[in-house]
Structure 1
Amino acid sequence: MAEAAATSVLGTISRGHLECPICCCRFTDPKILDCLHSLCLNCLEELISRQQPRAEEIPCPVCRRVTAVPDTGLQGLPNCFFLSALVDEFNKQERLLGDAPADTRKCEECDEGLEAVSRCLDCCKFICTKCLESHERMKSMRHHRIIGQEQNRFDVTPINTRKKATPQCNQHTNQNLCFYCETCKTLACGKCAALDHRATEHEYREVEDAIRSYRQDVGEILQRFEQSKEEFKVADDSLTNARNRLSIIVTRACTNITTKEEEEIAKIRDKSRFLRDKVSQIVAERDRQFERAQQSNRDKMEWAEQIVATVNDLMQQADGFELLDLKPKVMHNLEFQKELEFEQAQHRLSFIGVNCPDVVTDTDLGEVLQEERWELREEISDVVLAEFECATGVVCLSNGDIAVIDSDKKQLMNFTSTGKYKTTGGEKLNELWGVAATSEDLLLVTDEGFVKVFDSNLQFIRQFEPSQNEDDVDTDSRLTDIAVDKNNRIAVAIGGRKLISLHHQDGSFITAIPNGMVGNDSAIAIRERIIFTNYEESRLLCTTYTGDEVFNINTSLDGEPVRPCGVCCNDAGDIYVSVNLKEGEDGEVHHYSAGGVFIGRVARGLYCPLGLTFTPSRDLVVADKFSVKIFKRV
């Protein structure tokens, strides 16, 4: 069974690494092309015979890259010594494993048919007891390696693919190759260095130094390739997020179109179909653009990884002299790093919407919007019973009601979706800033160091205090903001303790997520990942529930930093941030992708925007200090 397993392993390795891509047989006199792929010499000769009249070049059958044929012919191509040695050793091991079982082997040195008891590894023959004595007496065979019968049954001689002898100079056959001329990119002996490479423009060094420098250069290039892999991942994730957003947005757009169609179905069925087709056509073209960009990036990375894998194999298998002999080809192939650039997502192409005005028989159903636009739909201000002094937080309930906290008046107020005042909470609050709502319409308000829970009528239910370590007793534990995900997990930002505390809906503790960027001015959003801001540092950050950082970016506009105040996410995972362009005035709302890429400006001309949220109908609600503004996508 052991011999069968060894044979199977040898066969698998042979098929995967030791067979010529043309003849599909083990390499015979393998030659290395400029692309670092190896082929049998005979196969190359047959291939070039079919390439007339362009016999001066030969294309690689694996990657199609062209290699110039040397003036001396295909024989002048570099030999792949380590592959030749591997093939010879594999052939030897297969012959060894393919022989008859040890108990039936006969001596191969004599004609007496005696049972073999040993094997000479240098002669590669089985021998009997008598021949073993003769073998050991002969001076020329005294140092041969002899192994016993049982040892031979399972022993596989280690494969040695490296040449131990120092290569000799082809021009001066009694001289060792001991120098490498950087100018000529070739190995040289002492005489060559003195006669052919002595001019001042020739720069040569000892072989060991050249090998060491060569390996260092290759290592640096491969290290930069690792950075390129990270850039590729960022670009690929960005494109994936853009495609996902496009899918969600177009579904929403088609839903809006269908709703409008049903309202006007008797008059404009045909126009509705035309409009949907137009949306689908635009989306299909954009999706193809994203797909082409992703495929292009993946093709570049696959091509680069193939080159790197080939170079790594060469670095591991070939000896120093072979590496230096192949240095021009290897370094030429590694120049791909200079051209390895990845296409980034054009986020403006990931949006599509529909503007559907009231229509009559002779008008279109609507217009396709290829860029996101918002307009002010409603403003809640100057309410007699609820005039705002400092509206800092806002959240929407499932019925469309809008709950607002006023940090100066220390009140929690409730409004209808149209801005009509409903009620004010009776519970006395002290220092509130953030508000959030669960899927069951429970309102969560941060009040100093506690999270207070209210029902939809603003009646107090209970409260809980985010847990803290004994070492943090004297630390400022005021809660700066709060958010709830779709599974009703509650994230609370605690600026003084530099962490985000995660809780179940009943207030029970899940985990603490430390982060030095959590400050007393941080706002927070949560949607499978935790997004939060740092006002003083002008930063927007994202971490996982385990604290692993996803991104950490500057919030800026035209190169100038802007202060992030509030943050929220829509159902597609996109991030919306309220910012102050100047201290205390001139605010906007900015739009970022789920990966933290700036997309555009949503709302401008705000006074001092703070908290923000989305209504069930996907309108954007912003607490703008002295008013609450509702924006509608058009």
Structure 2
Amino acid sequence: MMDIAAAKKGAEPGVPCQVCEGLHGEAKSWCADCVVLLCESCTAIHRKISATRDHELVPQYVMKAEGVDKFQRKRHCDKHKKCELKLYCESCKALVCAACTVIDHRPGKDHNPVEIATVAQKKKETLQELLQGIDSRLKEILVFMEEVDSEIAKLIPFKEAATEQAKAYFRRLADLLQKREQEILSQIDEQCQVDGKALQTKKEAIEFELIGLTRAQTFCQQAVEHGSDVYVLEVGNKVQTRVETLLAKQLDLKSDWSEFQFVENTAVADFAEEFKNLGGLSSDVDVSKCKVLVKPAVEGFRCVTVLTTMNKQSRPCVTHSKVVTANMKDPSGTNLPTQVQMKRGGMQEISYVPKVTGSHKLEVKVNSQQVGGSPFETTVQSRDTPVLTMGQKGSGVGELYSPVGVAVDKDGNIAVVEQRNKRVQIFDADTGHSLGSFPVEGEYPCGIDVDSDGRFLVTSWGEDCGVRRYSKAGKLLNTSKSDCIKHPLGITVLKDGRMAVADLVQKSCLLLTHDGSLIREIGKGHLRTPYFIAVDELRDIILVSDYSANKVFAFDFEGVFKFNLGGQGQYLEHPLGLALDRAGNIIVVNNGDGRLRVFGPDGTFIRTVVTMKGGGPFGLTLTPDGYIAGACYTGHCVEVYRYN
């Protein structure tokens, strides 16, 4: 198909020669063996060179579109240049010529050369079946694309209709608010007028009394100051009676007016809360089918619950986070602040920070309707208590027997190597439920890691030691048993496929290619009992825990010693499992005292995270959402603690 496409392209005018890159003109012919377009000059040279003189050169007119159906590419044997490839060795899965069947592919128990046509026909039938499958898938995809296009076409009209409805709704609400405002303002005006009239009436009455009293005062004063004795005696009694009457009169000199003011029957803050319920966005979410995953919670840490909104067809559907409300209550009934953040695929992340331990309840609503199972109960643990414990001693589903290595797979699940059960068991990181297991070869399986393609790499020591690669489904793909591997324990796979393996017998870290070939030994002369490995690829640093030296050593990829942390009495007591956080901090677990400790990228001690409760902590891994999972060899379990 590629040849035909190239031939069609070669038939176009002005296509340059692919050998001289158009220096001597445009392409005039096609070499079916070299798969290149040639100009006239390069074609002539091609025919003269002994290595290419027998190649099939197709002239330009054959490359025309109408002649493509006549074009058949012939291939010649690389070993026997003049012999055409006409046979296929089924044992070797290789094209061969007749001369090859005499020596290299002689028919027998090791070789089975047959005519190409026979094998090609079978291959064509297989490809035809695949083509039918492609046709079916293409139709399915095209139907889906039509559905998506139809939904895209509906998007703007739906937006416009919803926008108009929302505007009309809030206009009505605004009208109601304005109407209520006018009513209150009218009441204020009426009250002001009534009170003003009453006060004015009282004022006028007092003013009348004031005038009478003022006049009596003036008359009395003039009589006293300027009147003769005869005048005083004539009018004195009348004035005296008038003044005494005015003074004896009881006057209401107190205002009976009561001040008025506007009262907020509903506080603005409370009304703001009510505003959240004024309208909403209704979608195709079926609250009875929504899924809620309550992740383990730890006091003082940001904790998360994941809501997946589902439609009526039980498929995840995207909806705005504004239609999702969450209310978390602690054991005393006090509300905890929550945040809702939209994630991909219809997922909504509900986060909160619990302040106390104990049973908390989370109420989740979508479009003001409770989702199925709400309210959800979650137990908040203290920082030094495992949020999850996986397994107990045994060989059944969900049971563990001497777990050693742990790793996080591509789906975020926790893979555990069980040394006594000789298997890898996968656990759900959120619930702790077993998702399945597969057997592993080797006498004592130990370390585990996951490569960029999601495949598991497992080390084993003892008889038949090596590094084995398994598919996601647990199928053994290949085994690395190079001479340099003597007693492999911990393993880390780099992004480019290289492997770093701790070898107890070699007393070093082996840097290997993806197929297990040795690149170099690292740490020789420094390491005594290397166990587990962590790699900081941003800084090109390899970290190796040394059990008997009570240290963690750091080397660069060239094997140069950089620094170490720990030592006798220096925070580490028989260190084993290692992990790195996103900041490059080094997380180490002590097999001696069970303490999980964190050191800075330069080896400076930072803090003790927790003391693991299970016996004999071994391997360690850090999950993407901030939990530490540690294998407990003698406790026959995996404990999960919150890290950040």
Same fold by TM-score, threshold 0.5 exceeded?
no
Give the helix-richer structure, 1 or 2: 1
Larger Rg: 2
Higher RCO (C-alpha 8 Å, min separation 6)? 1
Q: TM-score, normalised by structure 1?
A: 0.40
